[in-house]
Amino acid sequence: MKYFSPFIALLTLFSFSSVFAQGRYYIWNYQYETEEANEFELESHSYFNTPSLSNNAHSLEQQFELEYGVTDRFQLGLYQVFGRDYPAGSISAKSSKIEILYKLIPKNNFVVDPMVYFEYARDWNFTNPNRAEAKLILSKDFGRLNGTVNGIAEYEFGGRNNFTPEISAGLSYELASYLRAGVETFATISDEDEASDEDLHGVGVGPTISLSTPWFWITTGASFGVSKNSNAINFRAIIGIDL
């Protein structure tokens, strides 16, 4: 019985606590949410990607982000990205990023709750192009169910295919005040080669779990490739701590 005591104590705390850290519902999508004014949050993002199950090639990426709520609708974030490609490569600093999120209108004043996202990334290998990304986030709560659609535009400065449109969507259901489960999907709309027409590439779909505690939250999930240009498996875990 003594081995179950910490687990029982944790369940008891969850049962009686009514205040939980506000976490992200998704790992590939954003919902309509920003930090409250003058609040800080530290986040850790861990990514694992493998293009094929038939070989050992895969990549790891670790991001650390500090977020700050300028107002209740305007959030700033700073990222530092580290990564490693296998079987070759070593862990190194990859890039630094700045992020802006802004809620366009107050919640529940329109048929959907719109928010915009902007990100600028500076590669630490100065021979590589810098990158900018913009997102239009359309989210809505239906009782315990949340739905979101993210329209994404990515631009590489100086790259051959400078502009890449993407789209992602997700559903997340509140099982308890501290636990949500959902499903997400995403697709890259790009030219497979210069002579081809635009098509959907890099399509993935998979489950997501989000857990909140009074001190931190964690969202994790996986996606499985359903098109020929998709990674076989993508795994992500995000941990957030209110400061």
* Run means of pLDDT, 10 residues per run, the chain, 243 residues: 51 53 89 96 91 70 95 96 76 91 96 97 88 97 97 85 88 96 89 46 89 93 80 88 91
The pLDDT of residue 56: 66
The pLDDT of residue 158: 76
Count up the domains in the chain and report the number.
1
Assigned domain for 14 exists: no
Assigned domain for 156 exists: yes
Assigned domain for 10 exists: no
Nearest to 41 by CA among 76, 15, 73, 8: 76
Assigned domain for 13 exists: no
Assigned domain for 183 exists: yes
Assigned domain for 3 exists: no
Domain that holds residue 200: 19-242
The pLDDT of residue 89: 66
Q: What is the pTM of this model?
A: 0.84
CATH classification of the domain holding 166: 2.40.160.40
